[in-house]
Amino acid sequence: MVKFTPTEIPDVVLVEPDVWQDPRGFFVETYHAGKYRAAGIGADFVQDNHSFSSVRGTLRGLHAQVHHPQGKLVHALLGEIWDVAVDLRPGSPTFKRWVARTLSGDNHHQLYVPPGCVHGLCVTSESAHVQYKCTDLYHPGDEIVVAWNDPELAIPWPVGKPVLNDRDRDAPRLSEILDRLQVWKVE
Cα 117 to Cα 88: distance, rounded to the nearest angstrom: 5
Give the side-chain half-sphere CA count within 13 A for 12. Answer: 25
* Active site positions, annotated: 63, 132
- Which residues have C-beta within 8 Å of that of residue 21, sequence separation ≥ 6? none
**Helix, strand or coil for residue 112?**
strand
Q: For the chain, list the domains and their CATH numbers.
A: 43-184 (2.60.120.10)
Per residue in 99-151, pLDDT (tens digit) is 999 999 999 999 999 999 999 999 999 999 999 999 999 999 999 999 999 99
User: pTM for this structure?
Assistant: 0.96
